[in-house]
Structure 1
Amino acid sequence: MNQPEFTVHTFRSCGTENVAQPELLTRLSQYKGLIFDMDGTLLDTMPAHVESWKQAAEHFGFPFTAQWLHSMGGMPSIKVVGEINRRFGLSLNPHEVSQFKQDAFRLLDNQYQRITLTCDILEQAYGEKKLAVGTGSQRDNALSLLENTGLLAKLDSVITASDVENHKPHPDTFLTACHQIQLKPNECVVFEDTVLGKQAAHAAGMDCFLVTEHGLVFYPLTDETL
């Protein structure tokens, strides 16, 4: 596994998290486009996802742990159901379970907030760089969340699970976003919060910043990741 080149730590000022480290600004200056994952990267939606999956587990009677769900971060719900079937030897209907989970998530409206660290980066780059979102969420959900949090109008492209056949860790989501904003992969950098997402970014030929509890960790594309 490749090692991070450096970690960008956040610092607090007036109760909010800010990013102003010289190494981050220098690093970002070499890219023409920024591509962000949504859940867990721009928006703290994981509590709502955990609750909606918990409701689905209770309704359909399958085992559920939040820790395992976190490891599936970035994977569309219909494929998560496939993983549940494989892991527990079940034969759940992926479409039925996925639809139930999505409906439960929608009923948890407004149970999420913007992640200041990455949203500040997006806001500061608005008007200067191409901006896109590449998410494993379904299109209707993604557009609604981005609209409600004031981010949608700032984006040049939004690529969702509805728009590609092969999802993370495959590169399709980020390559499609790159194509939509008319840039080459090496002209873009990805912001992600999961290992699957980082793998997808590297598979697409892009550097990646991983959002962690300590700040941003930079994982450049190297020969080892190709």
Structure 2
Amino acid sequence: MTATRGVLFDVDGTLVDTTYLHAVTWWEAIRQAGHDVPMAEVHRGIGMGSDKLVGHLLGDDGDQEELSAAHDVLFSAWWERLRPLPGAADLLRGCADRGLAVVLASSAKDEELDKLRRIIGADDVVTAATSSSDAEGSKPEPDILQAALDRSGVDPAHSVFVGDSVWDVQASARLDIPCIGLTCGGTGAAELTAAGAVETYENPAALLAALDRSAIKRLL
């Protein structure tokens, strides 16, 4: 029996240009709660789920549920202005055209994920997708990636993950899945490589241009 081969994709900051908006809205939610955290520190935590991010930034001083709810309200104001990153839909279609399963391994909440999928505009080639409700722990825990594998039937030994944060790279490593890092989420190539990314590209369009010589080539 031939193993199902596929590419798993993070969504926020990898396919949709949201990373800095998440940083600003988390910063504002934290500020409204009376805490002062430099925005650069907030940005470096983006990619973690809210269950990890609040503790990462505030230790035991933050109310995760309250801050997460405040962030969600602030972030939702931007939904209608969100845009896909260059080449996002074309990259997903390029993978599907090569016979690979395309899996969205997102920890966004269900309503937000629905919006992000509409923004990308390539749902016809998406094999499966996850949301925060599909996993107990968020990145850097590998739960979302495992849920994506389970839901899609993709063999982890025949998969690659594409993400934009060190938390993506760390989660992927815990399942021994090679991770391609994209710098469009604001984390530099050197840092992604140091975290374990097998290679890096500027954005989805750059990865698509190099697809047949990238780490994804081993799946073909």
Question: Alpha carbons of 1:46 and 1:111: their partners in 2 closer, same or farther (altered >3 Å)?
Answer: farther
| Unpaired segments ≥5 residues, structure 1 | 1-30, 222-226
The aligned residue for residue 53 of structure 2 is 80
Q: Which structure shows the bigger proportion of residues in strand conformation?
A: 1
Matching of residue 57 in structure 1 with residue 57 in structure 2: no
Question: Which of 38, 44, 50 is the aligned partner of 1:71?
Answer: 44
CA drift of 1:117 comes to 4.3
| Unpaired segments ≥5 residues, structure 2 | 200-214, 216-220
1: CA distance between counterparts of 2:30 and 2:138? Answer: 23
1: CA distance between counterparts of 2:90 and 2:170? Answer: 24
Question: Which of 93, 99, 106 is the aligned partner of 2:69?
Answer: 99
1: CA distance between counterparts of 2:81 and 2:39? Answer: 17
CA drift of 1:186 comes to 1.2
The aligned residue for residue 86 of structure 2 is 116
User: TM-score of the superposition, structure 1-length normalised?
Assistant: 0.74
Q: After superposition, where does 1:1-226 map in structure 2 within 5 Å?
A: 32-86=5-59, 90=61, 92-127=62-97, 128-212=99-183, 219=198
Secondary structure in structure 1 of the residue aligned to 2:81: coil
User: TM-score of the superposition, structure 2-length normalised?
Assistant: 0.76
Structure with higher Rg: it is 1
> Alignment RMSD, CA only?
2.6
1: CA distance between counterparts of 2:142 and 2:37? Answer: 28
1: CA distance between counterparts of 2:123 and 2:21? Answer: 20
Question: Alpha carbons of 1:150 and 1:98: their partners in 2 closer, same or farther (altered >3 Å)?
Answer: same
Q: Which structure shows the bigger proportion of residues in helix conformation?
A: 2
Secondary structure in structure 1 of the residue aligned to 2:132: coil
CA drift of 1:36 comes to 0.4
Q: Which amino acid aligns with 2:68?
A: S
C-alpha distance after superposition, 1:89-140 (max 9, x if no partner): 52x3211110111111111123332122454321212352111111232222
Identity, % of aligned positions? 23
